[in-house]
Amino acid sequence: MKYIIILTIFISCTPPVDYFGNSVEFKKEIIYLTKFREDSYVKDKYYLTFRQVYEMEENEIKLRDETLERYLNLIMSYYGYSEKKIVLKKNKNFLKPLFHVIVQFN
């Protein structure tokens, strides 16, 4: 029982890690990638789920968009895409603050 309590405290104190294994600081990064799924019907269409800060202010939207662009450029360079089109951007802040993006790459 003692080990479970220690493990719980240790896990809750570790910084969040994004999809690619990079540690994230919420003071500098407003969002970080947690899920990356490919559409099973449409080729090169991906569903990205980001975790974000709970209460985002107006001045932080620019920082969020810059971080999103960095992630999209990283995906493009990794998979060899040359173009991207953001199909949908959607916030969900009910229980977990999430940011969903649908992207079509070429």
In a domain, 83, yes or no: yes
Encode pLDDT of 7-34 as tens digits: 555 555 555 666 665 666 656 678 888 8
Q: How many domains does the chain have?
A: 1
10-24, 37-51, 76-90: least confidently modelled range: 10-24
16-25, 36-45, 55-64, 84-93: least confidently modelled range: 16-25
In a domain, 8, yes or no: no
Q: What is the dihedral of CA 53, 54, 57, 60, to 10 degrees?
A: 10
In a domain, 3, yes or no: no
Token pair of 5 as six digits: 């309590």
In a domain, 91, yes or no: yes
Beta bridge partners, 32, equal: 51
Query: How far apart (Å, rounded) are the C-alpha atoms in residues 6 and 23?
Result: 21
Q: Which helix (H) or strand (E) holds 10?
A: helix 2-13
In a domain, 2, yes or no: no
In a domain, 1, yes or no: no
In a domain, 10, yes or no: no
Q: Which domain holds residue 78?
A: 16-105
In a domain, 49, yes or no: yes
Task: Count Cβ atoms below 10 Å from residue 87 Cβ, excluding itself.
Answer: 13
